[in-house]
Amino acid sequence: MKKNTDILIKKGEMLPLMEEFYTIQGEGFHTGTASYFIRIGGCDVGCHWCDVKESWNEKLHPATSTDLIVANAKKYAKIVIITGGEPLMWNMDYITSKLKQENLNVHIETSGAYPLSGKWDWICLSPKKNKLPLEEIYDKADELKMIIYNKNDFKFALEQAKKVSAKCTLFLQPEWSKKEITTPLIIDFVMKNPQWKISLQTHKYLNIP
């Protein structure tokens, strides 16, 4: 049974599903948009400030039929956001193909640390110092979302911005536990560097998932 499950996971016909829910996108370019989130378990990037550390161990999350996940998603919004964890640890070809067959708009939130699979309408790239993105994803990113935890993160953000295409929208987002300290710094930075925009975790202010 486990062997069959492993084969289906490799094909992307099953995925370690942590949670799925209908809510409002709280961050980045599509803030305020009704969206269906699919959170896939598994991540080895290991950000110390990660707010979903329970997603890291994929073994804690049941291998779930991708067809069932798609059937749930199509009942709700036209925008589906696949996040994690790090979703690109898994084969995204099957799930994105099925979602596109349902005429859904398919987004991904990724660190870019694994090869890009799947067909996407929107790619939100959020690089992490612990495990940098693969070079192949930079020119495909529609949105660069840099998390600011301390002053050194501004330098990292500028380095990463040099690698994305001109069409990519640039965002700085305060890490939630440090927002009182970093938000004023981000405001000042964006006013001096207006090619950047500010992203806030508005879902946390609204007390929604």
Domains and CATH numbers, the chain: 14-206 (3.20.20.70)
First-to-final CA distance of the chain: 34
What would the two tokens of residue 52 be? Answer: 């979903």
Q: What is the 3-state secondary structure (H, E, C) of the chain?
A: CHHHHHHHHHHCCEEEEEEEEEEECCCHHHCCCEEEEEEECCCCCCCCCCCCHHHCCHHHCCEEEHHHHHHHHCCCCCEEEEECCCHHHCCCHHHHHHHHHCCCEEEEEECCCCCCCCCCCEEEECCECCECCCHHHHHHCCEEEEEECCCHHHHHHHHHHCCCCCCCEEEEEECHHHHHHHHHHHHHHHHHCCCEEECCCHHHHHCCC
Pairing status of strand 79-83 against strand 34-40? parallel
Model confidence at 180: pLDDT above 90 = yes
Model confidence at 194: pLDDT above 90 = yes
Report the pLDDT value the prediction gives residue 93, as an integer from 0 to 100: 98
What would the two tokens of residue 16 be? Answer: 């370690």
pTM for this model (two decimals) = 0.96
Report the pLDDT value the prediction gives residue 40, as an integer from 0 to 100: 98
pLDDT digits (tens, 9 = 90+) for 30-58: 999 999 999 999 999 988 889 899 999 99
Model confidence at 1: pLDDT above 60 = no
Report the pLDDT value the prediction gives residue 2, as an integer from 0 to 100: 76
